[in-house]
């Protein structure tokens, strides 16, 4: 069964690359890093019931398992090349059920991998609670990788896209909130949860422009706090400037939408800092790439992240973001 599953994934995700000297089928892959490039490597694990709801479709799991890793490459300004996949599956009701899951998973994985010419070069399957681990590898010119360290007092803080959609989508799946499936606003928010778009082109465009960068996975406050800690600075955010989608604002009041944007997590947008003099230039370029960028605050001397409310007073958010090990 194990090798048949691996074969099915390989068939669905085949991708020709000259730098893959030996891919799936042997004990290890043989890969050639192009001359003049550094290798960026990231890995994430998604667990059913923790990182995605139990009734999530296999195709959405396949997409998201790859997307969250590509987002890490985007945050480094790297271009994707290869991936490894470890898939833990519960005992299936039948061989057909296992085949259907793998086919769906591979379809979602492939749909995101193909446009980025990402090759699946190895993997493993085992039995247990449903969990997916993906390791991705990408290239970045020497010394050009974006990092969390480097932000300086006076820099502007920006984010791509909109914030809070995924967390709101999860809330709707969990509670319903009286919004039926088929409502385009609900469907949009759930789609943002299940199929985040890694901002790879934006990350590459920010090379030599952003002073610091990361992706927003655990929530803006938590992740910007990590950037500030690595850079040895603080940040001040204006909550009125947070970019929020019409769907989010249409289904939740302003306070709820603000809280989702600050600490909801699962956005996989880029949060980055640039010198104030370069904001307009960077915003124009990212607008051309289709994701845009919104200025939401500034870097200051000190530490931590403070949020200013619409009335000018400092807010005390109820939570900072997702904590995997919180009780």
Question: Residue 148 has what DSSP assignment?
Answer: S
Average pLDDT by stretches of 10, the chain with 327 residues: 62 79 86 96 94 93 97 98 93 80 91 93 89 97 97 98 97 82 93 97 98 97 97 97 97 95 95 98 97 98 95 81 47
Partners of 234 in the beta sheet? Answer: 300, 304
Contact 162, 248 (CB under 8 A): yes
Contact 234, 113 (CB under 8 A): no
Q: Which two tokens stand for residue 264?
A: 């909801």
Domains of the chain, start order: 2-140 (3.30.1330.10), 156-308 (3.90.650.10)
Q: Which two tokens stand for residue 144?
A: 């050009």
Distance CA(196)–CA(198), nearest Å, equals 6
């Amino acid at each position: 069964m194990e090798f048949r599953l691996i074969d099915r994934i390989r068939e669905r995700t085949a991708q020709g690359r000259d730098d893959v000297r030996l891919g799936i089928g042997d004990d290890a892959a043989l890969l050639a890093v192009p001359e003049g490039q550094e290798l960026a490597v990231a890995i994430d694990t998604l667990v059913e019931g923790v990182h995605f709801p139990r009734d999530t479709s296999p195709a959405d799991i396949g997409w998201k398992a790859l997307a969250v890793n590509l987002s890490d490459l985007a945050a480094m300004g790297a271009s994707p090349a290869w991936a490894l996949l470890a898939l833990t599956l519960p005992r299936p009701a039948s061989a057909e059920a296992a085949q259907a899951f793998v086919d769906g998973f591979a379809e979602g994985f492939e749909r995101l991998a193909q446009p980025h010419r990402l090759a699946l070069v190895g993997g493993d399957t085992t039995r247990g609670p449903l969990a997916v681990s993906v390791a991705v590898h990408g290239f970045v010119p020497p010394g050009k990788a974006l990092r969390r360290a480097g932000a300086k007092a006076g820099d502007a803080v920006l984010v791509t896209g909109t914030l809070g959609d995924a967390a709101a989508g999860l809330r709707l799946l969990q509670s319903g909130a009286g919004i039926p499936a088929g409502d385009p606003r609900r469907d949009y928010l759930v789609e943002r949860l299940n199929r985040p778009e890694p901002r790879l082109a934006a990350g590459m465009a920010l090379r030599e422009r952003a002073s610091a960068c990361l992706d927003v996975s655990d929530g803006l406050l938590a992740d910007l706090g990590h950037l500030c800690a690595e850079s040895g600075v603080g940040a001040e955010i204006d909550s009125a400037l947070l970019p929020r989608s019409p769907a989010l604002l249409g289904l939740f009041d302003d306070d709820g939408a603000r809280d989702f944007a600050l600490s909801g997590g699962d956005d996989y947008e880029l949060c980055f800092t640039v010198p104030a003099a370069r904001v307009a230039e960077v915003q124009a370029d990212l607008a051309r790439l289709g994701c845009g960028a919104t200025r939401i605050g500034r870097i200051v001397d000190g530490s931590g992240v403070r949020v200013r409310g619409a009335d000018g007073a400092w807010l005390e958010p109820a939570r900072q973001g997702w904590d995997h090990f919180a009780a």
